[in-house]
Amino acid sequence: MNESAESTAVVTGIIICDHGSRRAQSNDSLRHVAERFAMRFAEDCEIVEPAHMELAAPDIATAYRQCVERGANRIVVLPMFLAKGKHWTRDIPSLTQQAAAEFPDTQYQIAEPLGLDDLLLDLLKKRFDANDQPVLASGEDDPRLEDVPPTVQRVQCGSCPFEYDRATGAVTIKPGSLLDKS
């Protein structure tokens, strides 16, 4: 292969991206997904890196840089998200664009989120059939909350712009959230 053909060859790097978590065990799961993806599709995808959108390392910029350092000049971000929410429409594109700006000779693409696919339905059915989690009676303590003090147990995700009042069932806009107009 001559030098000009070699310099224009497209080498693709894959970034498998999730949200990121404060729990190391959750973040380790993404690393395992990336490793297994790389092994399973080694013939087509030689460069695979994990990235967390926020809360944990490596972030998208680090994964992008690692792909480039490994020889990639085209990066495909594969979001491990179910739907086209704000992370897919705004956050991941913004973070990827910022990362790409450091490497002007690269191009990137952000794939569709997982979405509704028969494979996902099959996986849900597999989890249902496994029946390997405890069955709890109403009022019984969930063993997953064993080390979580009641004061930090939550009704909803802390980043949600809404508040839920258990006593009344009312849902209101959280003061200071993006939806708060006061």
How far are the Cα atoms of 8, 82, 101 from residue 24, in angstroms, in the given order? Answer: 39, 21, 29
**Under 8 Å CB-to-CB from 63, ≥6 apart: which residues?**
15, 17, 49, 50, 51, 99
Long-range CB pairs of 118-126, under 8 A, 24+ apart, other chains included? none
Strand pairing report for 162-164 and 74-79 = unpaired
**Is 32 an annotated catalytic residue?**
no
Distance, in Å, from the CA atom of 100 to the CA atom of 110, rounded to the nearest integer, reads 12
Distance, first Cα to last Cα, the chain: 64
Q: Compute CA 28 distance to the chain's CA centroid, rounded to the nearest angstrom.
A: 12
Which residues are designated catalytic? 19
